[in-house]
Structure 1
């Protein structure tokens, strides 16, 4: 029998969710006239014959069923106001359905297979909310004319151009279109939201010019020849690079190849720099992967280190990117046959790697589809299908001799032909208002004329004032839109989402990168040793402290803030001749204030402040009940060092504090398909430790405390890769304690889930392992993302029984396996 709940008007809400139904229940149709809301989600419905008997129905939930065709009987529900039909496999919607739904206000059709919309959908003039995300739509023309529409979601479709008329709708307040190959407006404009799109179209001229711009990233191992390639392509001839002149961190430059603008990012190859790569690697980029053919051995290890590592990371982060393999150091290979054999070996291994990747995804998808109630796993199946649809393009390897000008020219021609191929780069053309080009040109002129200092740091207010003098038709809002676009394509840097940095811009990105180089580098220990006595005295430090800084960094991955200030100040003075004390303090900070550089590194989860370990103050003000306590000696900036977790050598400290696992611990496993991204765990640890100050971090373990509860995060790189989250069972005495522990786990998982959004090529599943020893069974979380959604019900809909049994019959109280849902507690 369904769950029945009466509403205030005596009308009924009927719940048939998760009943494995293949047809509408007879008893529902018999009582049809009474129902105002019917929940039929998570069933096996393919059609809903007889639904028109529910004449008073105002809300219908049909998500997570097996519809391949839109159920046309819905047009008989003339009172319908809300329709959920998301998470099915609907490909088309016939005409003459929506004109009958005159009262429809809310329509959710996300996560289907829709290729086009019916032209008459704009007859639903009361529609306020429309979600079409995760489909295959190529145009939105049919939704133009929905005059009352306030929210429109079209993320992850196949849209290239958005209709200008859509944004003349004064009612529209929220629009999201991420994950489309957009060129008008470009994705970098849409990322700013509805207001930016409206301003874009307001500035767009009828004959607006197109620009071909490609963000190009050079990746590869250390000494693979990336810098030589970059500089040679820029000059159009061979430009040798000395070993001492190799890239440290990231170098940025521009290359123009016959009208195509390449914004080039040359990433250093040493492992120490990988933690900063995620800050700058973005979607819709062209990747050139340099491979040193002279040192390449035709074996599995050499392929993994030189090719597979990079391609797998790209598959996770930007799975629809284009990768051109370039074989370097050809002049140092034995002969032409040697080059040919290595090229064929790399090609065969890449093909096998891509084939294995797809096969693993297909197998995982089939495992979910073969489960007894596959509709419960629709989210996981859909995620995997999306991963299968991504087509990472790995182009054939081009071997070149960087010492020969002809080879450089040929490579430039080849790169040009690749980016002009519309099948490979469908959004190479960007339609932009002329003011975008003019503002960028003006910024370069301000730099050239000395109106902006050589280092390129300028306040937002100053830059806006200078630009308005040149563009009287552009107000602050439009200028900010253009600046944000230039930030997203890598021409300038403006981190307005960081409060400490919102008021300043870096119009010379290489300057900011050089600051990163000063403290995130492969030879940092040597740089610390170079600190002179005079530099130490400038910070009132001693030589014995320098020795401690070096040891702390080598063995604890901790870098003292005084050392950071000295290193960055040295870089500023050496490379840019900066002597402005105010500017130096703004960037590097002081004893009482954190500088902008550390704010950036922390924002991007590269490091976090170490705990302040000062002793208790016996002279502290006494605490009195009902009286506000005031610190006797407030510290503005407590921490004295920064921890870089990616450099930690072991887990000794964490293991000592955690002691040992207990089978009865609260314990969940978050599985990553196809694998855990490089650096993911340490970024998660930093985010989790920002919640709770008592923490200990290791190489692949992290322990934190919330009150008297200890929680452990542990990375497991086994055949199935997962992150484990545990909470000590012996510290949870009551059911209330257990639920509070689940709330802490929830906060960590929210941050984990949010962090995962930065890797488009990931699919997550969550399990609770059986607590009985020698049992390999587990309990699956089907609705874990709904539990994380604070804007929704917050339910974890995995059965409401007091006791759960694993397939082998081992039983445990539900609250030790899953958080209790609101329904379970009533």
Structure 2
């Protein structure tokens, strides 16, 4: 007692002397500066993650502290003096190195919460059995092999967390415990302890991630239980008695081996949430449709092939999770679930949605395991582009379909890319014309060449991308879905050191724009290689490509694990400062999780083999290449049919016909007028333009204040613009003998030299010089302004401050900087 009193009663002089014992950040004065008042009005001292190996003595004199946070330190003991904190209500000592707790903690009269998870505790002081104020005891991730005898005797204990220990059973004395919430997950239980049934006030039981293979029949004798969590166990069958839990509100049997539910489950009239994700259900249990109280249903990752029409009985349902099943269609009755906010259908076999699907007006945008998720289906109506654009795009599409009618359209593109000199153009000529015509060195493709190819009654657009380094930035503008991406490289010149240059960097560039791109690998100049060399290089390239892909997937999974770790640890306050996701806002974490999930599920379709060809007279491999391309494009899983509203198809046809005109682009007002001719109001026009932009038929940048006023109905014209700016013959072009600099730029020879020097040495281009480059493409002021904004949009150029412009330059004084 004398020790205790020495901390409590001190004269003013003693207090002043005590303050001198420690200085720096652990003095009494400095510690008090760390005080903060919680929203509940409690005084908190947060010493989390301060590297403490022992408690500063001044802490024991802070008698006004009500919440003390010592988590994420290196403490091996707390000390008997802790009992001097007479007003202490909440103590956090998680993630330290404690092997015991001081018995004196029981003398803190107001201590209501003790959080000591992630230490090395294996027992509690006997004195704890006399604790009357403790309501929350959190001891997860310690070394308990049996439940301390003191726990059942804590008369006011309501919440006990012993997750992630080594418990195998519970003492019979637990029948006297008044605990409401008991968390026993991640222990070594093989059976459900019978004593749980005798706990008079138990409402929530968590035995997840244990080794339980069955539930006892007496499980039904728990009159007050509201929540059962047996996730990640080995349970195959549920006993019929589980249907006698009259108060049950939540059932969680995630990742077990359950193939069917007991019929009597429909009697659980208070059930609000059920989770049977990751089991072996082959049908959606019809009994579930009779539980009108349900609000959240999770049957993700099962084998469900059919969704009952009686799903409409679940009028209160706000979340229905059915991802990764085998569902081919949705019943029209699902449209009656007007309270739905979350509907996850990723990874099924859906091709279309019910026409009245937009009746689900409360559906949210996709986020972490919530909102509308239609990813990884074979969607035709709406098309995948629309589904991926969010719930409002889906609704707009369906409303337009009902106003007009559905029309099936076919689009097939072949994108051919690879390093300069790989033989792309020669290969394309051999494909298109069935004969050899080798491209000469001065016939290299600049930016992009487009061809139309008709074979076996099918019509394709073939895009031949220039391979020079300066064109890599512009290539990204033309990568789209619904295309076979043909990566071409010279197998004769290939060596392991060239993998990134010839293959890896191109795969990365394409999948950055189209994550689930379909890739076809073609090695050219096979006539210059031996069969053995071809075989060796084929095996080496395919193996390296797969290794890189495996590494990417592993990295994404690791990031997702860290995200889940942060989410799971957040409730314990464990990961602050130790997990980079923990500091994010909910919105940021949601967006990051969504992007990671998309990256994981949208993986490229990598080639399982490689085609080797020769574009010389023999045309070796060319017939196989043509056959393979046709197989790819006719595969409905890779390239599903597309159904669009007739009005959208009519608008696309009008825009296509207008390509015969001289304009490089149309104003938005011109397109509004054009849309009116096919019955589209301006409000209904916007979803149509968004869709046509997504599939690459037009370019419309509604997020750009200036560019949204223009619709680029001839994307191929951008090729001419980029060719004019990103020239391979720049040295030949930039001569004063080229009269464009006098005729268009009105430059003197001296001005020209300055302009040329600034451009070649520093990438600086005046708008006047840009007008000279574009003189044969678009030289009027409006076009020039649009081009400048396009270049900025794609980050192909940046505007330098006017102050950096040299006086005397012809045209506008502002300078553009072209990094490439």
> Smaller-chain TM-score range?
0.5 to 0.7
TM-score, scaled relative to structure 1 = 0.57
Q: Does 1:177 align with 2:374?
A: yes
Residues 571-591 of structure 1 deviation map (CA, whole Å, 9 limit, x = unaligned): 4322x3x34222223332xxx
The structure with more strand, counted as a fraction of residues: 1
Q: Does 1:345 align with 2:536?
A: yes
Partner of 1:323: 519
* 2:696 paired residue among 487, 490, 499: 490
Partner of 1:31: 201
Q: Does 1:465 align with 2:677?
A: no
* 1:146 paired residue among 336, 357, 361: 336
How has the CA–CA distance of structure 1 residues 316 and 476 changed in structure 2, closer, same or farther, with 3 Å as cutoff? closer
CA distance in 1, matches of 2:543, 2:412: 29
Q: Is the 8 A contact 1:516 1:597 kept in 2?
A: no
Cα offset, 1:509, TM superposition? 0.4
Please, which runs of 5 or more residues in structure 2 have no aligned partner?
1-135, 139-156, 160-177, 206-223, 365-371, 570-592, 806-811
How has the CA–CA distance of structure 1 residues 364 and 224 changed in structure 2, closer, same or farther, with 3 Å as cutoff? closer
Partner of 1:501: 707
Q: Does 1:393 align with 2:607?
A: yes
Q: Is the 8 A contact 2:613 2:619 kept in 1?
A: no
Q: Does 1:288 align with 2:486?
A: yes
Superposed, which structure 2 residues align to 1:36-435 within 5 Å?
Answer: 44-45=232-233, 55-56=246-247, 62=252, 66-69=255-258, 72=261, 77-82=268-273, 88=278, 92=282, 94-107=284-297, 112-113=301-302, 115-116=304-305, 118-119=307-308, 120-133=310-323, 137-141=327-331, 144-154=334-344, 156-167=346-357, 169=359, 171=361, 173-174=363-364, 175-192=372-389, 193-202=393-402, 205=405, 210-230=408-428, 233-234=431-432, 241-293=439-491, 295-297=492-494, 299-311=495-507, 318=514, 320-329=516-525, 333-334=527-528, 338=529, 340-353=531-544, 356=547, 391-401=605-615, 411-422=625-636, 425-435=637-647
SS at match of 1:164: coil
Q: Is the 8 A contact 2:517 2:603 kept in 1?
A: no
Partner of 1:623: none
CA distance in 1, matches of 2:466, 2:499: 19
CA distance in 1, matches of 2:484, 2:284: 40
How has the CA–CA distance of structure 1 residues 440 and 257 changed in structure 2, closer, same or farther, with 3 Å as cutoff? farther
How many residue pairs get aligned? The number is 577
Partner of 1:513: 719
CA distance in 2, matches of 1:248, 1:477: 39
How has the CA–CA distance of structure 1 residues 477 and 269 changed in structure 2, closer, same or farther, with 3 Å as cutoff? same
Q: Is the 8 A contact 1:468 1:475 kept in 2?
A: yes
How has the CA–CA distance of structure 1 residues 418 and 503 changed in structure 2, closer, same or farther, with 3 Å as cutoff? same
CA distance in 1, matches of 2:272, 2:460: 50
Partner of 1:570: 772
How has the CA–CA distance of structure 1 residues 70 and 458 changed in structure 2, closer, same or farther, with 3 Å as cutoff? farther
How has the CA–CA distance of structure 1 residues 173 and 302 changed in structure 2, closer, same or farther, with 3 Å as cutoff? closer
TM-score, scaled relative to structure 2 = 0.58
SS at match of 1:263: strand
Residues 727-785 of structure 1 deviation map (CA, whole Å, 9 limit, x = unaligned): xxxxxxxxxxxxxxxxxxxxxxxxxxxxxxxxxxxxxxxxxxxxxxxxxxxxxxxxxxx
Alignment root-mean-square deviation, CA: 5.1
Cα offset, 1:170, TM superposition? 5.8
Please, which runs of 5 or more residues in structure 1 have no aligned partner?
554-559, 589-595, 616-636, 648-826
Mark the structure with the bigger radius of gyration.
Answer: 2
Residues 609-658 of structure 1 deviation map (CA, whole Å, 9 limit, x = unaligned): 6689889xxxxxxxxxxxxxxxxxxxxx99854474xx6xxxxxxxxxxx
Q: Is the 8 A contact 2:407 2:649 kept in 1?
A: no
How has the CA–CA distance of structure 1 residues 585 and 94 changed in structure 2, closer, same or farther, with 3 Å as cutoff? closer
Q: Is the 8 A contact 2:488 2:522 kept in 1?
A: yes
How has the CA–CA distance of structure 1 residues 72 and 466 changed in structure 2, closer, same or farther, with 3 Å as cutoff? same
Cα offset, 1:198, TM superposition? 0.8
SS at match of 2:521: strand
Q: Is the 8 A contact 1:237 1:408 kept in 2?
A: no
Cα offset, 1:461, TM superposition? 2.0
CA distance in 2, matches of 1:410, 1:138: 34
Cα offset, 1:475, TM superposition? 3.3
